[in-house]
Amino acid sequence: MMKAVVITTPGGPEVLKLLEVADPELKEDEVLIKVAATALNRADTLQRKGAYPPPPGSSPYLGLECSGTIEAVGEHVSRWQVGDRVCALLSGGGYAEKVAVPAGQVFPVPPGISLKDAASFPEVACTVWSTVFMMSRLSAGESFLVHGGSSGIGTFAIQIAKYQGVRVFVTAGSEEKLAVCKELGADVCINYKTEDFVARVKEETGGKGVDVILDSIGASYFRRNLDSLNFDGRLFVIGMLGGAVTEIDLRVVLSRRLTIQAAGLRYRSPENKAEIAREVENNVWPAIVAGRVKTVIYKSFPLSEAAEAHRLMESSQHIGKILLVA
């Protein structure tokens, strides 16, 4: 048996309870990790409300990433050994003392990063690398706008984009959040509560717009995002905090040769996740080792205080990642 945070019924943060549950079953291509820490993601709050079910066959528990020590390896696993210090991308199950995960979604803890803090990397690194770099092909000399610059995704995206030689624009909702974004390397920081981000982007780019936008807002920003893009610009949508349904003027897309993409990580196949993980290890891990991409951790809670951690995330007062420590 092990302890895990269980959604006792769909609802608010108070439905999360730490209970005794059965250990995960280990498949032949998986490793069993004794969890040191997991990190919160917006998706966790949606799953808690009953709006984001885990993929079939996945752990029923919350948690899309973790760090810890390998306790057992499946018979088809060759790279990892018992005792290895790792972090991993999960399709669920991080809010627990143990989790089983396909070996291809496991990373070594980067040198210089503590075991606990390593839990803050897998989900943001895989999300940003797969969307912004692998699919939108952001490259050196281009410009990039990330909405919610002070979020876990945002704080990571700023740093990895700067490392790649990109000019970075961010939006955030307070001067304190914008100051952190600037400190992380953002070139243009826009307070979306007091400024029109389209006008500011146009002003800062000589009327052209940015090359790539990473957006977690969705419908309410859709038209304005298109208006903020340069010719051959790419919009990537990874969230719908501002709604899911919108209208599109295809003339805008056609006249400026725009690309609109959307994707999540969770429902991708294990093979696809493994491919992303290897790309991340080859391209992002060196930046972490070089000290060019740092963890931004706002607060850590014990597993038993998962409800409190969810309240903090939903208040949007945090900057960077929120951890749960097993």
In the prediction, which pLDDT does 1 show?
96
Cα angle 316, 321, 324; round to 5? 105
pLDDT-derived band at 17, boundaries 50, 70, 90: very high
Strand partners, 170: 146, 189
Q: In the predicted model, what is the mean pLDDT of the chain?
A: 97
Q: Six-digit token pair at 61?
A: 């528990």
Cβ proximity of 186 and 179 under 8 Å: no
In the prediction, which pLDDT does 250 show?
97
Q: Residues of the chain with pLDDT > 70: what percent? A: 100
Q: Six-digit token pair at 316?
A: 């949007």
Q: Residues of the chain with pLDDT > 90: what percent? A: 100
Model pLDDT for residues 251-275, shown as the tens digit of each residue: 999 999 999 999 999 999 999 999 9
CA distance 147 to 5: 30
Cβ proximity of 34 and 71 under 8 Å: yes
Q: Six-digit token pair at 293?
A: 């991409």
In the prediction, which pLDDT does 55 show?
95
Residue 322 CB contacts under 8 Å (≥ 6 apart), including other chains: 39, 40, 297, 298, 299, 300, 301, 309, 312, 313
Burial of residue 134 (CB within 10 Å: 0-12, 13-18, 19+) is middle
pLDDT-derived band at 4, boundaries 50, 70, 90: very high
Task: Fill in the DSSP letter of residue 169.
Answer: E
In one-letter notation, the amino acid at residue 130 is: S
Model pLDDT for residues 273-292, shown as the tens digit of each residue: 999 999 999 999 999 999 99
| C-alpha torsion sign, points 109, 131, 163, 227 | negative
7-13: average pLDDT? 98
Cβ proximity of 130 and 105 under 8 Å: no
Q: Is the pTM of this model over 0.75?
A: yes
In the prediction, which pLDDT does 286 show?
98
Model pLDDT for residues 226-236, shown as the tens digit of each residue: 999 999 999 99
Strand partners, 214: 146, 236
pLDDT-derived band at 169, boundaries 50, 70, 90: very high
Cα–Cα nearest to 151, from 175, 126, 131, 171 = 171
Cα angle 46, 215, 114; round to 5? 70
Model pLDDT for residues 202-221, shown as the tens digit of each residue: 999 999 999 999 999 999 99
81-90: average pLDDT? 98
Task: Fill in the DSSP letter of residue 158.
Answer: H
In the prediction, which pLDDT does 189 show?
98
Model pLDDT for residues 131-151, shown as the tens digit of each residue: 999 999 999 999 999 999 999
Cα–Cα nearest to 87, from 19, 33, 7 = 33
Burial call 256-288: b when 16+ CB within 10 Å, e when fewer: eebebeeeebbebebeebbebbebbbebbbebb
122-131: average pLDDT? 98
Q: What is the DSSP string of 177-239?
A: HHHHHHHTT-SEEEETTTS-HHHHHHHHTTTS-EEEEEESS-HHHHHHHHHTEEEEEEEEE--
In the prediction, which pLDDT does 130 show?
98
CA distance 270 to 105: 8
Cβ proximity of 235 and 131 under 8 Å: no
Within 10 angstroms of residue 251's Cβ, the number of other Cβ atoms is 8
152-171: average pLDDT? 98
* Count of residues in the chain: 326
Element (H, E) at 285: helix 285-289
